[in-house]
Every structure is written in structure tokens, then in C-alpha cells.
Amino acid sequence: MTQTHEGGCLCGAVRFKATADPVVTTICHCTFCQRLTGSAFLVEPIFRAEAVEFFGDQPREFDTVSQGSGKRVGVNFCGQCGTSLFLRLDRFPGLLGLFGGAFDDPNWFTRDAEKTKHIFTRSARTDVVLPAGVQLFIDHAYQVDGSPNTPVVLSEPQPAALAR
């Protein structure tokens, strides 16, 4: 990557910049992420923590426990305007899952087939169309012990209702 990419909250109190490409981009369809975003899914480019710098106010963190892994999930947000900014997952130390929509340009990072995974498609809204050529996981991409789950790759886009 030849440039940095910045983002932040709605009010501008918390700003960040990514100084590397994401390790992977996860599109998460779990009900936790649906509730967290108030939308159908979370677009989450995942970075090594050392590749993300924060400026301005310190984000606030809400801790909860994942129903799937039983491990801590820290939801980080602006303490002034409430914008969700990133997740810190005890299950994946050293990584930060930034909220794709919090970038100034939310289209800069790749969503190509090699670096994108859709997870928890079992709970995807029935009107969501799952893309062809991308790794899809009915649950998480990894089991709690860290071993990989087997993806499905569609040859044609398909509504989530038909992919179950």
C-alpha cells in the first residue's frame, strides 16, 4: 500500500488511520453484528493492531462475551457521538476489526475473493444476496480451537434464503 487511509466518528472526536492493508475483510452476518450495526451485516476489514493509529479522544469500550466462543469482545466507540469504530476480540489477539463504514472512503479496501470472507451466513437476512466466488461460512471461519471450517463458494450469486 502506498498511502494511509483515515477514518473516524461522526463528530470527529476520534480519528484513526490505517498504515497497511487489511489482513482479511470479513462480512459478518451474525445477529450480534446485525444488532451492533443496526443493519444486515458488518463490513469489517481486519488489521494488525500496530497498523492502526488513533488520534483525538480515546475510544470508549463496551465489553461483552461472545455467545459462540465464550471469549471477550470489546466494542469500541466514540464517547461523544456513539459511532462504533472497531472490535477488539480476545479470540484474535493483536488484531483489530475496524468498521468499514467509519473510513472516510469506505471503498478503499479490497473485497476480492482471496481476502474476503462472509461468516455466519446461517443468520444472514433472507433478502441478502450472497456473492459468487467468495468464501462463505455457515458459522465462523474458524472453530473455537482455531482449526479452520470449510467454506462454500457459490458459482452464482444467491439469496441467503436459498443458500441455507
Q: What is the pTM of this model?
A: 0.93
pLDDT value for 113? 78
The CATH architecture of the domain made up of 5-159 is Alpha-Beta Complex (3.90)
Half-sphere exposure of 49 (CA within 13 A, CB side): 8
Task: Tell me how far CA of residue 29 lies from CA of 6, 21, 126, in angstroms.
Answer: 25, 23, 11
Reading the chain (164 residues) residue by residue, the pLDDT tens digits are: 457 999 999 999 999 999 999 999 999 999 999 999 999 999 999 999 999 999 999 999 999 998 888 899 999 999 999 999 999 999 999 999 999 999 999 999 877 778 999 999 999 999 999 999 999 999 999 999 999 999 999 999 999 987 66
Residue boundaries of the structural domains of the chain: 5-159
